[in-house]
């Protein structure tokens, strides 16, 4: 109101009219004075130097004083400011600024006549004449004590809420209707590894940490809560900052003010990882128990069956409903009932019994061997209240153990047979006059049907034989032993290789026919002095001859029927010349028919490659090279067939022979 009075005064001064003679002015002034005096807020008029020249009734009532006590005094020396020197000095400086034309406003305090402290929204409005000079200052004070008290109460409540929220164990948050993070409690770092500032900086982070497999679930939950604006909860996984997976129980609800205005969503995250792990563990244990092939049976301490898994049903043939509530002696032969009572007495004393072997009876009456483990189940006070029994059917194991003993005896006998068979093979010398040698015979099982031998009939001549009886049984071994005996008896210089095979075939035919077996055999006679080699074949693999001078391989082929098919058959005999450095290899099909993992055969080609690679070495190194290739080719798997080899190398000179 004083502002309007000043404006009116300026207008009248501008028109150079006498204010006292202007009836309209007097009426307006009187009206404005009434409004000024009756205004609800504290109002007054000051000279530019701060002298108080007028105040309204509200101001007087606030101090309970008279006009003479304040009019004409500096405003800062009036009772409104007497309670605080700091406020007096603050007012004095504010009046000085207002006198310079500045509008001033600040909050301060006044003391009422009854000693009550009130909060005032105070302002100083400068009034200027037409030249811009400040002629009056209008002070105005509005009592804001109630508003201030409400704000203080609200701040105190907010502080209390903040203290509670900041110290909650769970992660609390508040999102605005637009999804902006209004508040995030510090416990978020404990739950997810990120500090509250990270969520304030990136509102999307609160959903980005949701496990990828659960994001659709959480998206549906968020949509439902926002649309329906009702309480919602869900369990899902988050990815902790350290990369680990955490389980969360999430509750959120919409927030409204007193007028029903939607203020956003308040949410809470609880870390339930341990609970989920315990639940998963219990579920896994239950699944293990239920799916176990072992019988897992729960009983009271008196022996009454209380639980029965599928393994028990499979072993004993009883359904769960047939045994629950019945005594465990239902499964026990009469002669073993006392044994059960003794075991239960031990369980009552808290003993744990492992792998107790006994006999039980199935529903069909069959007796089975069982290995039982008994465990006492105790209550919180440590008292034994039940028994857990895990039982395994070991009937087949018992049978297998008996069979194993029989097999051990058989294997021992086979080992003896192997030792005997190996003793029949001649000791292979590394060198003979004019020739270097290496030999081997490796049965695929304990005993086999492969065989090699050599005979020094006269100086400068050596006979060599390699043979293979079909099969890998003891019978094959016996027939090979018989063939060896026949050969040793019939070998003479007077019988050529072909004639010798005719004699052996006739002598062995009947025994081979009865055993339904055959023998393949290759016989060679090497005349070192004359550098000739004669040979005959009874259905055996063709040996190979490596000619050093030409660097080529020659197969020694000759027609001849396998032994045991027919009597009185002839065998083709051939001759070939050899030279110093030539290499002769006799072998059984266990070498060339060895298979790789893909089923490919080793073959004659790889055999020749191994010989050529080591052609400058002693036959034993050549043989080692062959076996190395075989091992790589087959992947080091065991031999599926017997292997026998003779490698002979014609010596080149005495000096070279000594170097070998």
Q: Which residues contact 173 (CB under 8 A, 6 or more apart)?
A: 181, 183, 184, 185, 188, 199, 206, 266, 267, 268, 269
The dihedral formed by the CA atoms of 482, 486, 488 and 489, expressed in degrees to the nearest 10 = 140
Predicted pLDDT of residue 429: 79
Strand, helix or coil at 175? strand
Can you tell me the mean pLDDT for 248-262?
A: 85
Examine the pLDDT at 656 and tell me if it is beyond 50. no
Query: What is the C-alpha to C-alpha distance for residues 477 and 564, in angstroms, rounded to an integer?
Result: 16
% of the chain exceeding 70 in pLDDT: 86
Average pLDDT over residues 593-614: 91
Distance CA 405, CA 515 (A): 29
Residue 20's pLDDT is 45
Mean pLDDT along residues 138-158 = 77
| 171-175 mean pLDDT | 84
Q: Residue 216: is its pLDDT beyond 70?
A: yes
Residue 16 has pLDDT above 50, yes or no: no
Which among 287-291, 542-546, 652-656 has the top mean pLDDT?
542-546
Closest CA to 139 of 216, 222, 51: 51
SS3 state at 483: helix
Q: Between vectors from CA 646 to CA 621 and to CA 630, what angle results, nearest 5°? A: 55
Tokens for 658?
């000594």
Taking residue 252's Cβ as centre, other Cβ atoms within 10 Å add up to 21
**Sorting pLDDT into bands at 50, 70 and 90, what band is 155?**
low
What is the pLDDT confidence band of residue 275, given thresholds at 50, 70 and 90?
confident
Average pLDDT over residues 11-36: 55
* Averaged confidence pLDDT in the chain: 84
Mean pLDDT value of segment 466-495: 80
Cα angle 199, 204, 210; round to 5 = 95
For the cut 50, the answer to whether the pLDDT of residue 391 exceeds it is yes
Q: How many secondary structure helices (H) and strands (E) does the chain include?
A: 20, 26
- Name residues whose C-beta falls within 8 Å of residue 419's C-beta, 6 or more positions apart in sequence: none
Query: What predicted TM-score, i.e. pTM, was given to this entire model?
Result: 0.42
Query: Residue 469: which of 489, 444, 491 has the closest Cα?
Result: 444
Sign of the Cα pseudo-torsion (311, 317, 320, 326, in order): negative
Instruction: Give, for 515, the enclosing helix (H) or strand (E).
Output: helix 497-515
pLDDT digits over 178-215, tens only? 878 888 888 888 999 999 888 888 878 888 999 999 99
- Token representation of residue 328: 């465990």
Dist CA 46 CA 127 (whole Å): 10
- 3-state SS string over 106-130? EEEEEECCCCCEEEEEEEEEEEECC
Distance CA 467, CA 438 (A): 16
DSSP string covering 301-366, please? TT-BEEEE-HHHHHHH---HHHHTTSBGGGGS-GGGHHHHHHHHHHHHTT--EEEEEEEEE-TTS-
Q: What is the mean pLDDT of residues 566-589?
A: 93
Tell me if 252 sits within 8 A of 228, measured CB to CB. Answer: no
CA–CA distance, 47 with 70 (Å, rounded to integer):
14
| Predicted local distance difference test score (pLDDT) of residue 157 | 56
Q: Is the pLDDT of residue 49 over 90?
A: yes
Bridge partners of 377? 386
* Mean local confidence (pLDDT), 466-482: 77
Q: Residue 645: which residues within 8 A CB-CB, separation 6 or more?
A: 438, 439, 440, 452, 466, 585, 586, 587, 588, 591, 623, 626
pLDDT tens digit string along 310-368? 999 999 999 999 999 999 999 999 999 999 889 889 988 989 998 899 999 999 999 99
* pLDDT band, residue 27 (cuts 50/70/90): low
- Whether residue 590 is predicted with pLDDT greater than 90 in this model: the reply is no
CA angle 648, 653, 658 (to 5 degrees): 80
Contact 368, 392 (CB under 8 A): no
Confidence of residue 609 (pLDDT cuts 50, 70, 90): very high
Q: How confident is the model at residue 125 (pLDDT cuts 50, 70, 90)?
A: very high
Percent of the chain past pLDDT 90, that is, above it, reads 37
The pLDDT, as a whole number, for residue 660 is 45
153 confidence band (pLDDT: 50, 70, 90): low
Burial class (CB in 10 A: 0-12, 13-18, 19+), 503: middle
Per-residue confidence at 133, pLDDT binned at 50, 70, 90? very high
Residue 392 predicted with pLDDT over 70: yes
Q: Are 129 and 135 in contact (CB under 8 A)?
A: yes
């Amino acid at each position: 109101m004083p502002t309007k009075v000043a404006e009116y005064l300026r207008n009248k001064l501008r028109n150079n009219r006498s204010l006292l003679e202007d009836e309209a002015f007097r009426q307006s002034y009187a009206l404005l004075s009434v409004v000024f005096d009756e205004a609800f807020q504290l109002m007054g008029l000051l000279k530019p130097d701060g002298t108080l020249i007028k105040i309204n009734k509200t101001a007087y009532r606030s101090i309970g004083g008279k006009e003479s006590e304040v009019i004409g005094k500096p405003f800062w020396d009036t009772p409104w400011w007497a309670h605080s020197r700091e406020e007096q000095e603050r007012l004095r400086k504010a009046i000085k600024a207002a006198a310079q034309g500045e509008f001033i406003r600040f909050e301060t305090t006044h003391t009422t006549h009854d000693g009550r402290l009130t909060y005032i929204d105070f302002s100083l409005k400068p009034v200027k004449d037409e030249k811009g000079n400040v002629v009056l200052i209008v002070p105005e004070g509005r009592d804001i004590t109630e508003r201030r008290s409400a704000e203080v109460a609200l701040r105190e409540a907010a502080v209390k809420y903040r203290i509670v929220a900041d110290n909650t164990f769970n992660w609390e948050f508040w999102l605005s209707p637009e999804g902006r993070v209004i508040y995030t409690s510090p416990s978020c770092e404990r739950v997810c590894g990120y500090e509250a500032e990270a969520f304030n900086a990136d509102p999307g982070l609160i959903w980005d940490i949701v496990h990828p497999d659960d994001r659709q679930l959480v998206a549906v939950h968020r949509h439902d809560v926002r649309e329906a604006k009702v309480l919602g909860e869900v369990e899902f996984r988050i990815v902790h900052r350290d990369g680990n997976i955490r389980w969360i129980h999430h509750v959120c609800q919409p927030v409204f003010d007193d007028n029903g205005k939607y203020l956003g969503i308040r949410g809470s995250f609880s870390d339930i990882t341990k609970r989920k792990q315990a639940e998963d563990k219990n579920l896994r244990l239950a699944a293990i128990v239920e799916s176990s092939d072992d019988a897992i049976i729960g009983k009271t301490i008196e022996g009454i069956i209380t639980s029965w898994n599928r393994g028990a049903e499979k072993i004993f043939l009883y359904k769960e409903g047939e045994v629950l509530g019945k005594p465990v002696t239902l499964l026990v032969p009469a002669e073993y009932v006392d044994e059960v009572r003794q075991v239960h007495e031990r369980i009552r004393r808290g003993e744990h019994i492992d792998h107790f072997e006994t006999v039980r009876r199935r529903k069909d009456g069959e007796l089975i061997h069982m290995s039982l483990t008994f465990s006492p189940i105790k209550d919180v006070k440590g008292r034994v209240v039940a028994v857990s029994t895990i039982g395994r059917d070991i009937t087949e194991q018992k049978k297998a153990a008996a069979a194993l003993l029989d097999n051990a005896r058989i294997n021992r006998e086979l080992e003896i047979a192997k030792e005997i068979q190996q003793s029949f093979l001649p000791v292979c010398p590394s060198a003979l006059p004019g020739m270097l040698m290496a030999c081997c015979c490796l049965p695929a099982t304990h005993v086999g049907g492969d065989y090699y031998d050599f005979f020094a009939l006269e100086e400068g001549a050596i006979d060599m034989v390699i043979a293979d009886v079909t099969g890998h049984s003891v019978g094959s071994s016996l027939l090979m032993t018989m063939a060896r005996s026949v050969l040793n008896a019939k070998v003479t210089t007077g019988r050529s290789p072909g004639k010798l095979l005719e004699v052996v075939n006739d002598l062995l035919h009947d025994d081979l026919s009865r055993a339904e077996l055959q023998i393949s055999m290759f016989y060679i006679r090497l005349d070192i002095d004359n550098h000739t080699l004669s040979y005959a074949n009874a259905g055996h693999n063709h040996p190979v001859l490596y000619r050093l001078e030409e660097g080529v391989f020659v197969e020694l082929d000759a027609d001849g029927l396998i032994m045991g098919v027919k009597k009185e058959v002839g065998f083709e005999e051939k001759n070939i010349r050899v030279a110093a450095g030539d290499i002769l290899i006799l072998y059984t099909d266990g070498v060339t028919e060895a298979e790789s993992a893909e089923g490919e055969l080793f073959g004659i080609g790889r055999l020749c490659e191994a010989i050529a690679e080591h052609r400058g070495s002693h036959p034993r190194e050549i043989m080692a090279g062959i076996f190395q290739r075989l091992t790589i080719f087959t992947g080091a798997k065991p031999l599926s067939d017997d292997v026998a080899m003779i490698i002979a190398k014609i010596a080149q000179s005495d000096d070279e022979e000594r170097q070998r």
